[in-house]
Structure 1
Amino acid sequence: MHPAAIAFQDPGRLHARCEIAGVRRLTFQPGYESSVVLPDGAWEPLPAGYPERFAPGLLTRDGGLVELFRLPDSVVDIRTLATLVYGLGDPFPVTLGETCDAPGLPVTHVSPDSGLRPGLHVDNHQSLAYADRETARRRLCVNLGPGSRYVLLADTDIKSVCRTVHDRYESHRPATSDLGLYVTLRRPLRVLRLRIDPGEGWFAPTAVLPYDESTEGQTQHSVTASWLGHWERGVFGPLI
């Protein structure tokens, strides 16, 4: 299994904003796709020594890294944020738009095709095959507030999932349905929940690492803006 590779300098800061839980299957529920994978809600602090499991290795590519950051003070609205994003090094970032999510949602993302929530899922904007997954753009998401929210990250990547559930995985095009089969087979899967406060954001390889976002336990709505792009690590100072 390949865990999430999270950039952090201080394990204590990662502990302070990260929890971990198992997963559950949800089938034929209103508002959700027919079968989805969700966190089971039994959130716990990271065990002692656990952050080191997510430390990037020498071979971790920039495009495979999860990074949390705080926006510069110069960003005062969506226009200045967009200008900032277009200056981060990718001349052609893909704009994914803005969302406004109510508080109390276990997962927030809605599939544009079905209008339903897919639960933990992988992005397939580029529809890349197994062998090309690491070349995908990373997702950049910023919480514009006013409430806090969470990014949810599976601790196992979709390529590891495919190797488990498909004999001919090399020719397979990974999809969210593979994650559902993996959980049905009772393979081990846990989810990290990292708090993202207003004015903070994250990068993540969401074509490789199953993810979603959540406003569970919050009392205010929150607005996000998101892009896809090829960005080097460290374009913002580290948050954790």
Structure 2
Amino acid sequence: MTTMHPAAIAFRDPAALRARCDIGNVRRVHGEPDYENGAVVPAGDWAPLPEEHPERYAPGLFTKDSGLVEFFRLPGTVTDVHTVAALVGLLGDPLHVALDPAEDPPGELVTHRLPESGLCLGLHVDNHQNLPYPDRDTARRRLCVNLGPGSRHLLLADTDIKSICRTVHDRYETHCPHTDDLRMFVALRRPLKVLRVRIDPGEGWLAPTAVLPYDESTEGTEGAEGQARWSATASWLGHWGRDLFDPLI
């Protein structure tokens, strides 16, 4: 039986993680005009994270910095893409890579789209470095900040792409993991859950998005007055250590 490796999420207070995290199932998309055929998206059956679940996602003794999901709040003096970029330049990777900023309307089930077609990808892995299976754990982490004015969610699969590859490929050792592997995994009806973590304006996350399938969402982010707002993000890729920011949870 193949061992499934879950997300490794850094947190200090399990209750704080549960307060901003839901869990649900996924479905495959077929024939929907705004999506890539076969895309894997949340099924919409969100439920509170069970009380015993946070410990399942706690980092292990051998979790590398490159495999860690971290959530943080920006310093009060960092308020726009320029001041965030200056801060990122001080985090220790002189070769970090800036990604295109994004602005997403409210109500989007998933937000990441293929630039050439505009179609939604659904849950996917980043392949900027196109690393093969043996080297996948060395990929850069993605740092993303929510510049507001609206809130949004980070979506994280609970199983990493290397575990998925071991399930769907006989010769996985020479394979280059791809989003298609995730789609095949779901098509084979293998169990997969997705976590939905709320990210408010002025907050951000670091995650191994070349290893852990992910997307973002602006669905269900209405404020206390029921007002839905656009949300802007800025993102970078880099080799960063852990605990660069005060933890959010």
Shorter-chain TM-score above 0.5: yes
What's 2:139 paired with? 136
Q: Does 1:237 find its partner at 2:246?
A: yes
State the 1:168 CA deviation. Answer: 0.4
- Give the Cα separation in 2 of the matches to 1:111 and 1:235: 31
Pairing 1:37-116 to 2, within 5 Å after superposition: 37-116=40-119
1:76 Cα deviation from its structure 2 partner: 2.5
Match of 2:173 among 170, 174, 187: 170
The amino acid across from 1:103 in the alignment is P
- 1:118 and 2:121 are equivalent in the alignment: yes
Q: Which residue of 1 aligns with 2:237?
A: 228
With 26-35 and 100-109 compared, the bigger mean Cα shift is at 26-35
Q: Is the 8 A contact 2:124 2:215 kept in 1?
A: yes
Contact 1:71 1:199 in 2 (8 A): yes
Structure 1 gap segments, 5+ residues each: none
Query: How many residues were matched structurally?
Result: 240
Supply the distance in 1 between the matched residues of 2:196 and 2:170 (Cα, whole angstroms): 31
| Consecutive unaligned residues in structure 2, runs of 5 or more | 222-227
Residue in 2 aligned with 1:183?
186
- The structural deviation recorded for 1:34 is 1.7
- 1:152 & 1:42 partners in 2: Cα distance? 14
Amino acid in structure 2 at the alignment position of 1:84: L
Q: CA deviation at 1:56?
A: 0.2
Conserved? CA contact 2:79–2:202, under 8 Å: no
Contact 1:86 1:92 in 2 (8 A): no
Matching residue within 7, 12, 19 for 1:9 = 12
Measure how far apart 1:31 and its partner are. 1.7
1:49 Cα deviation from its structure 2 partner: 1.0
Structure 1: how far apart are the matches of 2:240 and 2:70? 11
1:179 to partner: Cα distance? 0.5
* Alpha-carbon shift at residue 129 of structure 1 (Å): 0.3
Query: Counterpart of 1:170 in 2: which secondary structure?
Result: helix
Which string of whole-angstrom CA distances, capped at 9 and with x for unpartnered residues, describes residues 185-216 of structure 1?
A: 10000000000000000000000000000000
**CA–CA separation in structure 1 for the residues paired with 2:184 and 2:37:** 13
Between the aligned partners of 1:41 and 1:49, the Cα distance in structure 2 is 22
Amino acid at match of 1:136: A
Aligned to 2:29, the other structure's residue is in SS state strand
SS at match of 2:121: strand
State the superposition RMSD in angstroms: 0.7
Name the structure 2 match of 1:200: 203
SS at match of 1:87: coil
**Cα displacement (A) at 1:135:** 0.5
Alpha-carbon distance in 2 for matches of 1:77, 1:174: 34
Q: Name the CA distance, whole Å, in 2 between partners of 1:20 and 1:192.
A: 5
Say whether the 8 Å CA contact 2:79–2:147 is kept in structure 1: no
Identity of aligned residues (%): 68
Deviation at 1:113, TM superposition (A): 3.5
> Following the alignment from structure 1 to structure 2, what is the Cα–Cα distance between the partners of residues 166 and 61?
25
